Amino acid sequence: MTLRTLAKTDLVISDLCLGGNVFGWSADERQSHDVLNVFTELGGNFIDTADVYSEWGDGHVGGESESVIGTWLKSRGNSDEVVIATKVAKLSTRPGLSRANIIAACDDSLKRLQRDHIDLYYAHEDDATTPLEETLAAFTELQKIGKIRFAAASNYSGARLLEAASISKQNNLTEYVALQNHYNLLEREEYERDSVPALKVLGIEGLPYFGLARGFLSGKYREGVSVESVRAGGVTKYTNDHGWAVLAKLDRLANHHSVSLSAIALAWLRQQPTVAAPIASARTVEQLREIMVSVTLSPEEMAFLKA
């Protein structure tokens, strides 16, 4: 893994961010700890989670992923070696971006993470019912007392990201330093049309989620093949001529570089001008090893994938 500094911060991050949405859900605590151990052994240091992960699971209440990461951090003894990002707004018991909710949700997350600070704290989605001034003031308050290092936005439109930056400047409030929106080889239009211009204006970077299109770009989903996975329902929109054509391109480049399809799909994202690090999750160590391989694609290969 290559380490780099996230724009407008002093956060030194690996160029792959490990998604924690599977921890405590499709990966139990032991499996999750194994993945986290190997991730750091291979040079990764950037982990993404959220308070809502995995409220959707049977019998879950949210916070399961943070709790699994927290027990792992405690077992290491030095949690400052890794950069932890988590989020607020989507948990049903802690909804929205009011000051009161952000402050309370942050404390909840810190307890589960067994940590005294969050490196990158996201507004998980825009909250039109709360003034941006209130939300940004709450993040500023948390930053001043050391509970968060930086604030960022997720699922924000370009217009709202620009509006938030303007309000921050006008009121001397902390600014969002990154944007986590949906972006991958099969989900390009909205990010490239709406997010990229705003990121360029602000000089900040994207940390796109679903880098492997819910696992479709790993190549395990093939025409005529049935896959048993808790996430299989999320890929049906890709099982069409366009999706198969993209997999065929990934197959060609993966064979040429002798790496996995996942490595090629993530390399394409990593080499986008506005992307600091793609986010991808792994349920097993075997899956993790596939996404941890770094590949540099030529300009011709980049164009081939995008065509």
Bridge partners (DSSP) listed for residue 84: 47
Asked if residue 47 lies in contact with residue 83, where contact means CB atoms within 8 angstroms, the answer is yes
- Residues 213-258 have pLDDT tens digits of 999 999 999 987 666 655 555 899 999 999 999 999 999 999 999 9
- pLDDT band of 138, cuts 50, 70, 90: very high
Domain ranges of the chain: 3-306
- DSSP letter for 284, please: S
Question: Which pLDDT score, from 0 to 100, does residue 255 have?
Answer: 98
| Side-chain half-sphere CA neighbours of 119 within 13 A | 18
Mean pLDDT of 128-151: 98
Select from 3.40.1350.10, 1.50.10.10, 3.20.20.100, 1.20.58.220 the CATH code of 3-306. 3.20.20.100
- Residues 45-54 have pLDDT tens digits of 999 999 999 9
pLDDT of 278 over the 90 cut: yes
Strand extents, DSSP E, 236-299: 279-281
The residue annotated as part of the active site, out of 53, 156, 191, 209, is 53
pTM of the model: 0.95
pLDDT of 195 over the 90 cut: yes
User: What percent of the chain shows pLDDT beyond 70?
Assistant: 97
Q: What is the DSSP string of 188-229?
A: -HHIIIIIHHHHHHHT-EE--B-TTGGGGGGT---TT-----
CA distances for 113 relative to 59, 69, 108, angstroms: 20, 6, 9
Residue from 76, 59, 96 nearest 47 by CA: 76
Question: Which pLDDT score, from 0 to 100, does residue 227 have?
Answer: 61
- DSSP letter for 93, please: T
Tell me the pLDDT of the chain averaged across its residues. Answer: 96
Instruction: For residue 92, say if its preceding peptide bond is cis, omega within 30 degrees of 0.
Output: no
CA distances for 241 relative to 3, 95, 213, 225, 238, angstroms: 37, 39, 16, 15, 8
Asked if residue 122 lies in contact with residue 136, where contact means CB atoms within 8 angstroms, the answer is no
Mean pLDDT of 260-286: 97
What's the CA gap between 34 and 259, in Å, rounded? 22
Residue from 110, 118, 85, 93 nearest 209 by CA: 85
The answer to whether residue 176 is catalytic is no
- pLDDT band of 292, cuts 50, 70, 90: very high
